[in-house]
Amino acid sequence: MKAAAFPAKFANLSYPYGCCAQFFRSPATFLSPALPYSRPAPCRKLTRGIRGVGGLMSQSLSSSSQSLSSQPESELLQALPSSKPKPPPPQLPWLVVGLGNPGKKYQGTRHNVGFEMVDALADAEGISMNTVNFKALFGKGVIGNIPIMLAKPQTFMNLSGESVGQIVSFYKIPLKQVLVIYDDLDLPFGKLRLLPKGGHGGHNGMRSIIDRLKGSREFPRLRIGIGRPPGKMDTANFVLRQFSRQEQGELDYTFQTGIEAIRILLLEGINKSATFVNTQKTMEQLS
């Protein structure tokens, strides 16, 4: 059987690619069993290249693993990134201020119950108040894990803001962490009232503090009731009057309640402290 004639127009075509030209010269050549199959040279080179890259990669991985295994464990641990969390920012202190007038003349008077409350707190927490700083008798301590500063301004009541303003500015204390303790005519004797903010209520010491804090009233205050003057007694004379022995005994109970309220305020927040304070009964009510 004769091989079919391959059209001349295809037989005479030349192909620039050597590997393809072998298969399209004629049907006989294409079908010939004697034609040895051989992989084109570029493919062999590519295979050798892949093998070469693989060899280099295996050698590189082997050498790097050997170098890592030869390093001491301590050096490897030091090279790892640190996973320790950043320490929290330092806790800003609370400032507890008691208002009053300095000097022996005013000790034990109604207008100085703020001073007496701070003295009772200092004694209970073992905080020394012997330092004079920022125009105040000043002390530092800790309640629980909360740093606290105690102050009794020595500027006289009407200028209390000079001392408080300096302390707040120097230590950058947030106003929500400034507790001011003072006497209040409008509360029954021995009654406590804790509020997160408010006005001065006609109290000259509070008026001075608000002025020095640029008019801000956003700080908590603990008011201690001293009652109204009896009969037609002048208010100024009444607030500068000393407590009787019986009244002083009742105040001791009030101060213990106030100390516990301040502890709750610092450790658990103003809501719990206000609930505790504002629902407490005075010694007179308990009897």
Give the residue numbers annotated as catalytic, written as ranges. 111
Residues 6+ apart with CB under 8 A from 228: 185, 186, 238
d(CA 238, CA 60): 94
Report the largest interatomic distance among the alpha carbons of the chain, rounded to a whole angstrom. Answer: 147
d(CA 4, CA 2): 6
Residues 6+ apart with CB under 8 A from 173: 92, 93, 94, 95, 167
178-184 sheet: strands from edge to edge? 131-133, 136-143, 146-153, 94-98, 178-184, 221-225, 192-195
Residues 6+ apart with CB under 8 A from 40: 18, 19
